[in-house]
Structure 1
Amino acid sequence: MTQTHLSSYPIGLIHYTNVAPILDALELPEGVSAVRGVPTEMNAALLNGTVNLANISAVEFIRNADVLSALPDFSVSVLGAVYSVNLFHTKPWGDLRGGRIALTAQSATSVALLEVLLRETGVQARLERAEGTALDLLAAGYDGVLRIGDDALREWYEVVGPINEERSMLDLPHQSGGVTVTDLAQRWFILTGHPFAFAVWAYRKDAPPPHALLQAMRQARRYGLGHLGEIAERHAAQLGLPARVVQHYLWNFRYHLEAPDRLGLDEFAAKVAPGHAPLVLSDGRSVSVPAAATP
């Protein structure tokens, strides 16, 4: 975890490619500084008070809803495939029962999502912490490997690619050479019919963000969503992937916490933390979306 200059309002930033449309153009207003790290580091930084606001794992927002609130119009969500939260496995999903699955230490939400999906499908497997590439860990004897973020996107492409101009990412065989790549967000959609919110922008209830920061974030998002091609070109070079693959990856995301995203977040909360404290947004609303009135 790296930190810039100290200031009166430090925030935590996770610089995965999936938040580039928000963060690449973000100019921090006076009095705001940034601490950067992976999701689990930012979760801890927010909870211990090192930062006051961060784009943190949704599951940590759920588990700490008594001390955290979330911005009402920011998330990192997806409806269907996400491409960068993947379980790589050599056996069919149902045959993972009793097998060994390697887990990343970088993301609490992805681990919790995997646990929910395994439980909901009646698959009991041994989950173990292990770091390394998916193919290396599979070769070492694991039956499945959970990978997230930019590494997962690259390793997904290593299995399913290359994708030429005639192929669509929406119609790919997500398996090759005896390795299957199960997209956990797609599996969640099949299970629930809802989007999955991987992250929200949460802050400590005793330290709400300054208005200037919120305005800067919204302005950066508007710019980013209007320049996805440029952002994709830049990050594709860093990732070693085709620009059009990265652009598809980015335009697949939902960066606003809209009603469908809140439905998915509410359902995930019910599955991962029954009896949790109410999930509150900074405008005073609950995450829960009221049911339609009965005629």
Structure 2
Amino acid sequence: MYRAGWIHYTNVAPILDDLVLPAGVNAVTGVPTQMNAALLSGEVDIANISAVEFIRNADQLAALPDFSVAVLGSVYSVNLFHSVPWEDLKRVALTAQSATSVALLEVLLRESGLSPSLERAEGTAQELLAAGYDGVLRIGDSALREWYGVVGPLTETTSMTALPHHKGGVTVTDLAQKWFELTGHPFVFAVWAYRQSAPPPAELLQAMRVARRHGIGHLEEVAQRHAQRLGLPERVVQHYLWNFRYHLEAPDRLGLNEFAAKVAPNHPPLVFGPALPGD
């Protein structure tokens, strides 16, 4: 039995919502840190894992050559909520759910010449800011909801790209947008990696491509489903989803390689599996 470990945030809904696993494949779900650990320990054979874990373990892992979770510019769901200006950050709360987002924040702070205290703490942005942190890193669906709670509401006459990033004493800095301003490249948050000793069956890759093609072609329906679950306007979720780059194209690889150089200068060479015919 081939084992898949899926991180089923909204950002991969266009791939995973309608994925029909072929015979001989089963799947479990979890948060990024859980699936990172499961892949490295051999509990699962393939997972959409944090890019930084792929980089740091490139001697053991290979990535599918045409699947990614990447953005060029704003991502909306990897945010630093802060009550002081970026340059005045002294104490920042970090989530334990995402290694890549933490590593990205560390790179961006270092590139800004900053070295605030970084502490593990879980809770909403508002709770942790009220507890005395200058900044709070939030990721995933909860970060998307909390972002909209600060910058919304979105009216019928306003654009997602025209929403404020500061309200009520809280500033929201989108880390992917800050990466783009620094490098001009997309940021790859996750790749679909597998243990080099256990490449995926061709039937699974084809099923993933079929699911992705269907999900991207029916993005409005995907957004409607997840908007209800998230308690967000459909327009917000649809805009969020169509920002993503799911194919690990040349610009995404440039961004991934630049991030690798900044976060792990002596990393092993990144390995990408052979492409199979199809979408």
TM range (shorter): over 0.9
Whole-Å separation in 1 of the counterparts to 2:132 and 2:85: 16
Checking the alignment, whether the CA contact within 8 Å between 2:70 and 2:187 is kept in structure 1 is: yes
Counterpart selection for 1:59 from 49, 52, 55: 52
1:151 shift after superposition: 0.3
- Aligned counterpart, 1:79: 72
1:170 shift after superposition: 1.1
Whole-Å separation in 1 of the counterparts to 2:3 and 2:194: 11
- Aligned counterpart, 2:106: 115
Question: Could you list the per-position Cα deviations for residues 171-210 of structure 1 after superposition, in whole angstroms to 9, with x for gaps in the alignment?
Answer: 2211100000000000000000000000000000000000
Whole-Å separation in 1 of the counterparts to 2:158 and 2:183: 28
TM-score (norm 1): 0.93
TM-score (norm 2): 0.98
Whole-Å separation in 2 of the counterparts to 1:197 and 1:240: 27
- Aligned counterpart, 2:36: 43
- Aligned counterpart, 1:233: 224
Confirm or deny that 1:16 pairs with 2:9.
yes
Whole-Å separation in 2 of the counterparts to 1:42 and 1:9: 15
Question: Could you list the per-position Cα deviations for residues 257-287 of structure 1 after superposition, in whole angstroms to 9, with x for gaps in the alignment?
Answer: 0000000000000000001100010028xxx
Whole-Å separation in 1 of the counterparts to 2:81 and 2:114: 16
**AA at the equivalent of 1:62:** I
Secondary structure of the residue that 2:76 maps to in structure 1? coil
- Aligned counterpart, 1:33: 26
Question: Could you list the per-position Cα deviations for residues 140-182 of structure 1 after superposition, in whole angstroms to 9, with x for gaps in the alignment?
Answer: 1000000000000000000000010111111221110000000
Secondary structure of the residue that 1:86 maps to in structure 2? strand
Whole-Å separation in 2 of the counterparts to 1:166 and 1:273: 44
Question: Could you list the per-position Cα deviations for residues 218-271 of structure 1 after superposition, in whole angstroms to 9, with x for gaps in the alignment?
Answer: 000000000000000000000000001000000000001000000000000000
**AA at the equivalent of 1:257:** L
Unaligned runs of 5+ in 1: 1-7, 285-295
**TM superposition outliers: structure 1 runs of 4+ over 3 Å:** none
Using CA pairs below 8 Å that are at least 6 residues apart, which structure has the higher relative contact order?
2
Checking the alignment, whether the CA contact within 8 Å between 2:6 and 2:30 is kept in structure 1 is: yes
RMSD: 0.7
**AA at the equivalent of 2:18:** A
Whole-Å separation in 1 of the counterparts to 2:155 and 2:239: 13
Whole-Å separation in 1 of the counterparts to 2:127 and 2:159: 28
Checking the alignment, whether the CA contact within 8 Å between 2:93 and 2:119 is kept in structure 1 is: yes
Counterpart selection for 1:70 from 59, 63, 71: 63
Q: Percent identity?
A: 77
